[in-house]
Homo-oligomer: A and B are copies of this chain.
Amino acid sequence: MDDGKKILVIIMDGLGDRAVRSLGYRTPLQCANKPNLDWFAVNGTSGIMDVISPGVRPGSDTSHLALLGYDPYQVYTGRGPFEAAGVGLVGKAGDVAFRCNFATVDDGMNVIDRRAGRIKEPDTTELAKALDGMRLGDITAVVKEATEHRAALMLQGSGLSPYVSDADPHALATVSRSEPLRPNAAATAEAVNEFVHRSYEVLKDHPVNRRRIAEGKQPANILLPRGAGVFPDIQPFESKYGMSASGVAGVSLIRGICRVCGLEVIEDAGCTGGTDTDMNAKACAALRELERKDFVLMNVKATDINSHDGDPRSKIESIERLDAMAKAIREGIPSGTVVALAADHCTPVEKGDHSGDPVPLTIYVENGIKDGVASYDEVSCARGALGRIRGVDLMPILIDKADRSEKFGA
């Protein structure tokens, strides 16, 4: 046996769909002109995949965990740690992270603007720095700004619990007290409340806010945490699978998932190939990473956005741009690479949100059995020789097709 083949997993976000009335009850994939995606189907082995389990509607975080072979029911307690890792705060197992908003409150702790006058960098950068490193008894608060009015908070210390309610009231209302949702979460809830109170003390007279008030803008005088989650005790990808790995993704949450799982995240997906679209840049970056790594995951977001916007025609156009990306992959992959075309979930355009429908899956490798599937779409793939599998089974299947699997027994 050789050292095993390389593996490229292409996740086309929200790609799968349902029968769309305005498309004659076909799906966007069935309507798009996509000879290169279809080339993989013709030469590969296809099936459908319940990314979590049948009928379960995945988030982008739980789905990517499953696709990387981590059971989300075991490792996922909330979005917080993955958002935090997305902006670069990667904690250790047991650290608890929160998503936060910079907000504006009055003297009575009533929220009067949940986005603090749509504050953004560089103001948030300075304000986050003012809060970062705050000591709350034995607990340390780590704070980092995220996009626009958002930030990440990570609590580090022993005995922390993610089972605390949000301080963010999610409305123009009085700031909520974080309450323990389990008996052993009292200390964590208290730390959250102290953090929120002291964020007000630190921020209310901060020079950045004094300047904003002078400019007639809302001050960001409080940081409101929500969505607590604990960093899971996760076996790093490289030690779990014995493969070096990179993740190519533009979305912060997906980058966070990759970082928590131990993949190297490629920040700059720039491309020297002369094309200027985001997709082709990602394809180039993925091909570059395949030169030096065993495993590459890439996530391409456009189709999900089209679906959230409810626009089937734009989704078809995005699929046709994905097809151009698939051409670059097809022409550029090292010989013998195992390539998986998949989605993290369906996002039906008429629903405008994720659904629990299975996603189309094609696995291409030169010696894979050819199953007669001629098109990469929801219906054609369902007739393929992979049948119907689950997301957590994808990695074992790819590893076996790459001739990297351990034998169980003799």
Per the 8 Å Cβ criterion, residues 215-256 of A in contact with B are 227, 253
Most chain B CB within 10 A, of A354, A405, A406, A407, is at A407
CB distance from A212 to the nearest CB of B (A): 30
- By beta carbon, the residue of chain B nearest A69 is B55
In whole angstroms, what is the CA distance A371 to B397 when docked?
26
Residue A368 lies at the interface, judged by CB distance under 8 Å to chain B:
yes
Give the oligomeric copy count. 2
- Give the A interface residue count (CB, 8 A): 68
Residue A383 lies at the interface, judged by CB distance under 8 Å to chain B:
yes
Q: Assuming A385-B378, A387-B382, is B400 touching A356 (CB within 8 A)?
A: yes
Residues of B contacting A398 in the complex (Cβ-Cβ under 8 angstroms):
55
Residues of B contacting A366 in the complex (Cβ-Cβ under 8 angstroms):
19, 21
User: What are the 6 tightest A-B residue pairs by CB atom distance, in nearest-first order?
Assistant: A59-B409, A55-B396, A62-B409, A387-B388, A356-B400, A382-B385
- 18 pairs of residues in contact across A and B, judged by CB atoms under 8 Å: A1-B351, A19-B366, A21-B366, A25-B367, A54-B396, A55-B397, A57-B406, A59-B408, A59-B409, A61-B410, A72-B408, A227-B410, A253-B410, A353-B407, A370-B379, A382-B384, A382-B386, A388-B388
Residues in chain A within 8 A of chain B (CB atoms): 1, 18-21, 25, 27, 47-48, 52-63, 72, 76, 79, 227, 253, 348, 350-351, 353-358, 366-372, 378-379, 382-390, 393, 395-401, 403, 405-410
